[in-house]
Structure 1
Amino acid sequence: MSTTIEREISSVKGYFLQDDPATDPETFDYVHSSFGLINQPYSTESTASQEVTQWKRFKQHIDLLNSQSDTKRFKVLFLGRHGQGVHNVAESHYGTECWDAYWSLQNGDAENTWVDARLTQEGIDQARVAHEAWKKQIQDGIPSPQSYYVSPLNRCLATARVTFEGLPIPRVDPFQPMIKELLRETMGQHTCDRRSTATEIAEEYPSYHFEDGFTDEDLLWDPKVRESNEDRNKRLRSLLDDIFATDESTYISLTAHSGAITSVLEVLGHRKFALATGAMIPVVVMVERQPGFLKRKM
Structure 2
Amino acid sequence: MDGVTSSGLFPLQRCKTIHLVRHAQGIHNKGHEKDHRAYSSPEFFDAHLTPLGWDQVDNLRKHIKSCGLSKRIELVIASPLLRTMQTAVGVFGGDGYDDGVNNTPPLMVENTGDSGRPAISSLNCPPFVVVEDCRERLGVNPCDKRRSISEYQKLFPAIDFSLIENDEDILWKADIRETDEEVAARGVKFISWLCTLKEKEIAVVTHSAFLFQTLQTFGGDCHPIIKEEISKQFGNCELRSMLLVDRS
TM-score scaled by structure 2?
0.77
Gaps in structure 2 of 5+ consecutive residues: 1-6, 96-121, 220-226
1:187 is aligned to 138
Choose the corresponding residue for 1:121, options 34, 45, 51.
51
2:41 is aligned to 106
2:156 is aligned to 205
| Secondary structure at 1:130 match in 2 | helix
Sort the Cα spacing of 1:158 and 1:142 in 2 relative to 1 into closer, same or farther, 3 A: closer
Sort the Cα spacing of 1:166 and 1:262 in 2 relative to 1 into closer, same or farther, 3 A: same
Once the two structures are TM-superposed, the CA of residue 173 in structure 1 deviates from its matched residue by: 2.8
Structure-1 separation of matches of 2:164 and 2:208: 25
Superposed, which structure 2 residues align to 1:250-269 within 5 Å?
Answer: 250-269=200-219
Kindly report structure 1 stretches of 4+ aligned residues shifted beyond 6 Å: none
Larger of the two Rg values belongs to structure: 1
* Equivalent residue pairs, number: 207
- The structure whose residues are more often strand, as a share, is 1
2:80 is aligned to 152
Higher-RCO chain (CA-CA 8 Å, sequence separation at least 6) = 1
Sort the Cα spacing of 1:172 and 1:130 in 2 relative to 1 into closer, same or farther, 3 A: farther
> What do residues 128-167 of structure 1 show as CA deviations (whole Å, max 9, x unaligned)?
11100001110xx787121210000100000011101126
| Secondary structure at 1:160 match in 2 | helix
Structure-1 separation of matches of 2:92 and 2:152: 18
2:18 is aligned to 77
Structure-2 separation of matches of 1:174 and 1:286: 26
Once the two structures are TM-superposed, the CA of residue 197 in structure 1 deviates from its matched residue by: 0.6
Once the two structures are TM-superposed, the CA of residue 263 in structure 1 deviates from its matched residue by: 2.6
Quick check: 1:175–1:207 contact (8 Å CA) kept in 2? no
Structure-2 separation of matches of 1:143 and 1:285: 20
Gaps in structure 1 of 5+ consecutive residues: 1-41, 45-61, 68-72, 109-113, 290-298
Once the two structures are TM-superposed, the CA of residue 105 in structure 1 deviates from its matched residue by: 2.6
Choose the corresponding residue for 1:249, options 162, 185, 199.
199
TM-score scaled by structure 1?
0.65
Choose the corresponding residue for 2:242, options 283, 286, 292.
283
Quick check: 1:161–1:175 contact (8 Å CA) kept in 2? no
| Secondary structure at 2:217 match in 1 | helix
2:178 is aligned to 227
1:165 is aligned to 93
